Chain A
C-alpha cells in the first residue's frame, strides 16, 4: 500500500461567503477548535514524509488564517507543491506578496458566476465579485499561475461559455467548470441547484464549443455531474488510495464529505500520527480496495475504475454507506436518483443560506 499523493489542508471553516452549494458540513468548526500553526506545520512535515506531493490549502477561506504564508513557506521548504484554493475576497497586494515570497506555486480562485450581480447573490456577499476581479489582477501581476473555478448548477449553467471566455480574458491559465455535488450544506439546496437534462446537454455543448474556441491557450477541466449518468464517478480516486483530507479540527478524512458517514470514527492528527491513520486506522481501511464491495461491484469490470462510486452519495441516497453508488444503473437504489430527477421542481425554490 502506498502513501497519499495529495493533502487537502482545510485550515478553517470560517468564510465571508455563504455559497448555497458549500460542501462543508452543516455544523462548522469554530476558530477555537482549529489546529494551530505548530500543529499544521507538524501535519505538513508528516504528510511530506508519507509521500504527499501536492498540498491544497483550503477552507472555508484559508486566507482568514494569518499564518497562511508561514504554512506555505513550510510546505515549500519540504518540497511540496503548494496550491491555494481561495474565494479571493480577503486578498490584497501585501498578502499576495507574502504568499508569493513564501513559495506559493499556484492559485485557484473561485467565482460564483460571470454576471456580477448574480455572482454576489449566489455567494451571499455583496461586492464579492469585484473583489475577486481585483484578486485576479494581483495574482496575474505577480505572475503566479492561476486557475478560475466555477461551480455550476441550474441557476448559472446557461452562462458556462461566457465563464470560460471570461477566465481567458482575465488571464487565467486554466478554468475548472464543476457541476455541484450535493454534500454538506449543498444537500439542502439540491432542488434549487440541480439542472435538468436539457440544461445539462447545453452545458456539455458549451464546454465542447469553448474547447474549440480556445484551443490549447486555455486548459479547461470539466467535472460532470452524475445524477443524470448511469455510471458513478471515481470518488477521490478510491477511498484511502491517494487522497488525504485534514479538517480544521484535525480530523483526518479520506474525503472532504466523509464526516457525514455514521459508524466511522475519523482519528485526529492530535491523537495519532498520519502514518498510523493512513495505514492502520479502521476508517481509512473501511472502503479501501474491493473486498468491502457489494457483489455486483466485485464482479464488475469498472470496480478498479470507479471503486464502486461515492460512499457519501450511497449514504445520502441509499441510506447505506457500503451500498454501491445509487447513480449506477445496476444499483437497486437507482430509483432513488430517478425520483429526485423526476421530482425536481420546475421553478427553483429559494436558496437557503448559512447564517453567520
Chain B
C-alpha cells in the first residue's frame, strides 16, 4: 500500500527524530539504529507530528520552497513510502 495525500504519517513507536547537539545535525533514533536524514528527508520528517496529512505537508513545503506543488508532492510521497518501508514511519 502506498501513501496518498490524505495519509497521516506518524513515527513508529520507539523511533524518533532527535537533534544531535554535539554534532549539530538531526538524526533518526531507533533501537540499535541511527541514521542521518538528508536535507529533503529532514524537511519532511520535521513536519511529521501524527496529525498533519501528507497533503498539508506538501502545502507547507510548497509555500517555502520554490518548486511546483506537483513535483514536491511526488517527492514527498516517494519519500514517505520509503520511510514506511524502513519502519521509521507508519501510515
**Docked-complex contact A145 and B31, CB < 8 angstroms:** yes
Q: Decide yes or no: A49 and B32 within 8 Å by CB, A144-B13, A173-B14 being known contacts.
A: no
For residue A206, CB closer than 8 A to chain B, the reply is no
Number of B residues with CB within 8 Å of any CB on chain A: 17
Name which of B16, B19, B31 has the most chain A CB atoms within 10 A of its CB: B31
Partner of A3, one of B22, B27, B29: B22
Please determine whether A53 and B29 come into contact, CB atoms closer than 8 angstroms. yes
Is the contact region of chain B dominated by helix, strand, or loop, or is it mixed?
A: mixed
Tell me, in angstroms, the Cα distance from A38 to B5 when the chains sit together. Answer: 49
Query: When chains A and B are docked, how far (Å) is the Cα of A262 from the Cα of B2?
Result: 56
Q: Does A221 contact B (CB under 8 A)?
A: yes
B87: CB under 8 A from chain A?
yes
- Let me know if A108 and B34 touch, CB within 8 A: no
Alpha-carbon distance A106/B33, docked complex (angstroms): 12
Given contacts A145-B14, A219-B87, contact A174 B31 (CB under 8 A): yes
A216 and B87 in contact, given A53-B18, A83-B31 (Cβ under 8 angstroms): yes
Question: Which chain B residue lies CB-closest to A219?
Answer: B87
Which chain A residues border B22 with CB–CB below 8 Å?
A: 3, 49-51
Task: Tell me how far the C-beta of A105 lies from the nearest C-beta in chain B, rounded to whole angstroms.
Answer: 6
How many contacts A-B (CB < 8 Å)? 46
Determine the distance from Cα of A173 to Cα of B16 in the docked complex, in whole angstroms. Answer: 16
Contact A221:B34 (CB < 8 A) given known A81-B16, A106-B14? no
Q: Are B23 and A54 in contact (CB under 8 A)?
A: no
Interface positions of A from 6 to 37, Cβ below 8 Å from B: none
Nearest-CB distance from A181 to chain B (Å)?
A: 16
**Is A291's beta carbon under 8 Å from chain B?**
no
State A216–B22 Cα separation when bound (angstroms): 33
Of the candidates B14, B20, B85, the one whose C-beta lies within 8 Å of that of A51 is B20
Give me the interface of B with A, judged by CB distance under 8 Å.
Answer: 12-14, 16, 18-23, 27, 29, 31-32, 34, 85, 87
Contact sample, A vs B, 19 pairs, CB 8 Å cutoff = A2-B23, A5-B34, A49-B22, A51-B20, A51-B23, A53-B18, A53-B29, A54-B32, A79-B18, A79-B19, A79-B21, A81-B16, A81-B18, A83-B31, A105-B14, A106-B14, A106-B31, A145-B14, A216-B85
